[in-house]
Structure 1
């Protein structure tokens, strides 16, 4: 089985990775992190412009995925990692559809408060749109 883990830097996201490593240690595991080019840049990085902001997001994604590889080793499992570009739910669903994924594991939420209500739940959108079963981990 090919299990796709959609990882963001949240506790539920890390719980999804731990679930994958403990429940599916012998399966093919791929961990993806989506960088969203439509995220606007405010604050100290706003001066970078769209291409600079996307590059900064890619660098942060590589650090996150390297940490995921380290955690996987701690659990005794191996995995592949990939940075994908797009709005997170759509990018994860597209990746699953084009890469022969059998199941998706995702954390229950990465955002909290008003932004979660306004933007909707990425996990919920993945579960509704995915062409394969989805496990939502808390």
Structure 2
């Protein structure tokens, strides 16, 4: 029986689709929405800071505020199913942080969109979903 589901989310439509799929498919499970702030792929702009430490801090604060907006949307989606979701954020490389979270928290399954990056980003950085599926210690359900 599935009791815990991890849904890594970005700002793309496939992430919302994955969340909806998790809420429908696992109605009695605790769902955790994880957002990774990855400076390499953030919609807040890769880099986005200069040489001053305060610029990094400002960028990171903005990225976390933006993640809070994503979490609010996730809670609104969950409310449509009369559900609640836990939210977690972390900073690092998308795929590695998702796998590390799964190793640490041991969800029963990860439900994620098959890809939300543009084709050039997938070519340069690889598919997060592919990386997670290959390295995850738990089953991964990819949603298209």
In the superposition, the TM-score normalised over structure 2's length comes to: 0.87
Partner of 2:86: 80
Q: Unaligned 5+ residue runs, structure 2?
A: none
Greater helix content: 1
Is the CA contact (8 Å cut-off) linking 1:36 and 1:87 kept in structure 2?
yes
Partner of 2:17: 15
Separation in 2 of the partners of 1:8 and 1:103? 18
The superposition leaves residues 44-88 of structure 1 with CA deviations (integer Å, 9 ceiling, x where unpaired) of xx4672111111111111110111011100122221111122111
In the superposition, the TM-score normalised over structure 1's length comes to: 0.91
Q: Unaligned 5+ residue runs, structure 1?
A: none
Partner SS state of residue 25, structure 1: coil
How many pairs align? 135
Is the CA contact (8 Å cut-off) linking 1:26 and 1:77 kept in structure 2?
no
